Amino acid sequence: MSTSLTTCEWKKVFYEKMEVAKPADSWELIIDPNLKPNELAPGWKQYLEQHASGRFHCSWCWHTWQSAHVVILFHMHLDRAQRTGSVRMRVFKQLCYECGTSRLDESSMLEENIESLVDNLITSLREQCYEEDGGQYRIHVASRPDSGQHRSEFCEACQEGIVHWKPSEKLLEEEATYAFAGASKPGSLEGSGYNFFSLRWCLFWASLCLLLVYLQFSFRSSAFL
């Protein structure tokens, strides 16, 4: 059963995956709640995860809610001479819409979501810091269908000017590809009424075969008379 990860376990997943992706370099992950989008020091790169899935728990009224629009900001830097790298990370918070408190609450995430997010981070890191082909991003981090309309007035990322709840072009392309692949599967013919592997069609073909055998036997019998 999946369990929510703490900050230390966030780092554990990152270090384990970076050890595989770039074993010759030493990387660190730093949680920075003051990180600002597009405010980069020289040599730093940015990656913004806009559609992560997380669960929030209000520390005041104990209300919990799920969001498929959690925003995570990463700033990355690689020192090629020293073979060391640094990633600064900020998970944007949300306000509880039940009690209306002004206290921002942090999200917790399941292990499989964290691993997908770290995979995306490493893909961006390889592209921007190492100038390599990082491979495909794992777009389906957020659960679908969406849990509901995003309420920007309770979102810290929206209040700081990050417009993220509308699907990006890349997300829409992925959804279109996914829908096309689903329609191309043999099972998708069931809804059109032409599933040739249904019981009705099997009985039809079996009856036709028996009829052909009977006619052939009858023809041979009459030929000998």
Res 29: pLDDT: 97
The alpha-carbon radius of gyration of the chain (Å, integer) is 27
This prediction's pTM: 0.68
Tens-digit pLDDT profile for residues 54-75: 888 888 888 888 888 889 999 9
Tell me what the pLDDT averaged over the chain comes to: 78
Tens-digit pLDDT profile for residues 168-213: 444 445 444 544 444 444 444 344 344 444 556 667 777 878 887 7
**Three-state helix/strand/coil letters over the chain:** CCCECCHHHHHHHHHHHHHHHCCCCEEEEEECCCCCCCCCCCCCEEEEEEEEEEEEECCCCCCEEEEEEEEEEEEEEEECCCCEEEEEEEECCEECCCCCCCCEECEECEHHHHHHHHHHHHHHHHHHCCCCCCCCCCCCCCCCCCCCCCCHHHEHHHHCCCCCCCCCHHHHHHHHHHHHHHHHCHHHHHHHCCCCCCHHHHHHHHHHHHHHHHHHHHHHHHHCC
Res 225: pLDDT: 53
Tens-digit pLDDT profile for residues 132-143: 987 888 764 444
Average pLDDT over residues 19-40: 95
Tens-digit pLDDT profile for residues 120-132: 999 999 999 999 9
